[in-house]
Chain A
């Protein structure tokens, strides 16, 4: 049975149960009320009978029996008995009466009792006249009570059936309504496959559970997409990222080999080569590990880096490759409290990502000024990278993160369209956001935001 049917069924059975309960309650109360009023009438009748009996006036007896016949025919099979009580527990018995003995004993004890047998009510009451006790017994059938009870049962029965049908339809509507977002999610998820992994589920409003579900799905898709693309693009990424250090090494070695030099210079140069080579090693390792694990952040040991130090490291790297660059790292907006700048991350990868973005800024602005502004607060760490370059046309912006995408106006610059997609992925792995604002021929602002609450949440989940 699928959940939708289950919900309908549960809804119907629950509402049936509660309706049944209500019906039973109404039935019982109704019957009791009927009984109460009928007994009251019998009581009144008993009083009249007693009074007429005591007066012993034939005229009145006749009048009363006429009245009963013509005016008070509502009591069916009415019988009336006046029994004289002789002593504590003996009285004159009338053989027409067919009632159990307990009835009488109870009347004698308490002065009043009633008894029902097959819808016929017997009411007995003691009256005293001239120190002589009498038991007055009135018996009658409650036709009206019986009829109304039957009537109400019938109403309940048919209404119940109608209600059941109504509940079934409502239940179906409810199940459909409840499952509408879920089925929508299913539909959306079905649409996503390896070829369009960048699609995300739309956010569900007004339903925290379902928006949790979509968020979880989206997170999963994020991870999937990241690892998928990183694995697919390993060779591209590796070649792209290894190019820079290798160029530096080659250049360094070439310069050294131009002519004879003294030992100090060789030492210095070898030191440089060593640094670049170890950087290369680190990078390869990080990329390999990234490809291998698809970056499951929780499983890895993360580095704790100070983001300002990281930026300065990036700057010194860029200095080596583009000695005349005009990159300015502005730390004066950064807080003095260094703890706010701490970020759990994979340091080589994050360095690579930021390096790619800043180098893009340098490249596409023809070595114009690039400002890197770091701000941090309790909520977030924000790095804004502004350049005064060629900018990005609006129609290119959606494609920025597709590997190998090259904008039209960027065609005259050498590049492969791999740096930014990789940077984007690395930043997303760190629960960061990458925002690109750009105007053609004016420049580009790339903002990287690491939200602290994100960091905290991921901690709680882990």
Chain B
């Protein structure tokens, strides 16, 4: 049983998120949970709350949802569930993770670009949760990831620890490692691109620590944006 949460706004890249989720599930039984979040309306009464709550979808979104359902239906071991979440808190998020026994959170690229506060909040809540996160890149992918580049933060975790963890949870092999290049990407880019093409790397692996939740106007560019590859982010203490 390996359940996967995909927070989404039903942009077209949700499809690749679903595909990679199905790939991660491989042959095991799996529930893919598409979660759509909306701000909780500020209301006086319960009935007004129900009236004001908007869960309507645009035709485009409907279409994406239908396609997702179709993709899931081809794979008999995967079931697709839709979860509408109105309002969010860390306890609610934890509750959802625990209730559905979520083992992986997949963020479509468009979702991380969302500017609405609730979406950013969800991203940060997930960051502070122990659950591994897969941040998809902006390049369309079929979700079959095999070879990984490990981006090493200043931690005590060695490649061994990471590979051990990966062996247990993900069909991934680390073939290359580098130190964190957030600050000196310019110098590193040639080496990185070379290594990526040489080993046909299709995934980055990094560890993350707890961060304070804050809402920045200017989003910091992360590895996704720089290399366009999906990033599997593991909670450091969970490894």
Q: Which residues of A contact B (CB under 8 A)?
A: 298-304, 339-340, 342, 344, 452, 455-456, 459-460, 462
- Nearest first, the 3 A-B pairs at minimum CB distance are A301-B195, A301-B178, A339-B160
Q: Is the CB of B176 within 8 A of A299?
A: no
Q: Is the CB of A456 within 8 A of B156?
A: yes
- CA A460 – CA B155 in complex, angstroms? 6
Q: Which listed segment binds A: B75-83, B90-98, B146-154?
A: B146-154
Minimum CB–CB distance from B9 to chain A (whole Å) comes to: 34
Interfacial chain B residues near A452, Cβ < 8 Å: 158, 160
Q: Assuming the A-B contacts A339-B163, A342-B174, are A301 and B156 also in contact, with contact meaning beta carbons closer than 8 angstroms in the complex?
A: no
- CA A227 – CA B197 in complex, angstroms? 27
Residue of B nearest to A305 (CB): B175
Q: Is the CB of A304 within 8 A of B150?
A: yes
Residue of A nearest to B192 (CB): A301
Task: Verify if B188 is at the interface (C-beta below 8 Å from A).
Answer: yes
Q: Assuming the A-B contacts A301-B177, A301-B178, A304-B175, are A340 and B160 also in contact, with contact meaning beta carbons closer than 8 angstroms in the complex?
A: yes
Interfacial chain B residues near A460, Cβ < 8 Å: 154, 156
Q: Assuming the A-B contacts A301-B149, A342-B163, are A459 and B158 also in contact, with contact meaning beta carbons closer than 8 angstroms in the complex?
A: yes
Residue of B nearest to A289 (CB): B191
Q: Is the CB of A298 within 8 A of B179?
A: yes
- CA A455 – CA B152 in complex, angstroms? 12
Q: Is the CB of B188 within 8 A of A299?
A: yes
Q: Specify which of B150, B158, B160, B194 lies most central, judged by the most chain A CB atoms within 10 Å of its CB.
A: B160
Q: Is the CB of B174 within 8 A of A304?
A: yes
Q: Which residues of B contact A (CB under 8 A)?
A: 149-150, 152, 154-156, 158-160, 163-164, 167, 174-179, 187-188, 191-192, 194-195, 199
Q: Assuming the A-B contacts A459-B152, A462-B152, are A301 and B160 also in contact, with contact meaning beta carbons closer than 8 angstroms in the complex?
A: no
Minimum CB–CB distance from A346 to chain B (whole Å) comes to: 10
Tell me the dominant secondary structure on chain A's binding face: mixed
Tell me the dominant secondary structure on chain B's binding face: mixed
Minimum CB–CB distance from A82 to chain B (whole Å) comes to: 83
Q: A303-B176, A342-B174, A460-B154 are in contact. List 19 more A-B contacts (CB 8 A).
A: A299-B191, A300-B191, A301-B176, A301-B177, A301-B191, A301-B192, A301-B194, A301-B195, A303-B199, A304-B175, A304-B176, A339-B160, A339-B163, A339-B167, A455-B158, A459-B152, A459-B154, A459-B155, A462-B179
Q: Is the CB of A303 within 8 A of B155?
A: no
Q: Is the CB of A303 within 8 A of B154?
A: no
Q: Specify which of A340, A452, A460, A462 lies most central, judged by the most chain B CB atoms within 10 Å of its CB.
A: A462
- CA A81 – CA B177 in complex, angstroms? 100
Contact of A342 among B152, B156, B160, B192 (CB under 8 A): B160
Interfacial chain A residues near B154, Cβ < 8 Å: 459-460, 462
Would you mind naming 5 contact pairs between A and B with Cβ atoms under 8 Å apart?
A299-B191, A300-B191, A304-B176, A339-B163, A344-B177
- CA A300 – CA B159 in complex, angstroms? 16
Minimum CB–CB distance from A406 to chain B (whole Å) comes to: 36
Minimum CB–CB distance from A15 to chain B (whole Å) comes to: 43
Residue of A nearest to B199 (CB): A303
Q: Is the CB of A342 within 8 A of B159?
A: yes
Interfacial chain B residues near A455, Cβ < 8 Å: 158
Q: Is the CB of B176 within 8 A of A339?
A: no
Q: Is the CB of A302 within 8 A of B176?
A: yes
Interfacial chain A residues near B179, Cβ < 8 Å: 298, 462
Q: Assuming the A-B contacts A459-B152, A460-B154, A462-B152, are A303 and B175 also in contact, with contact meaning beta carbons closer than 8 angstroms in the complex?
A: yes
Interfacial chain A residues near B178, Cβ < 8 Å: 300-302
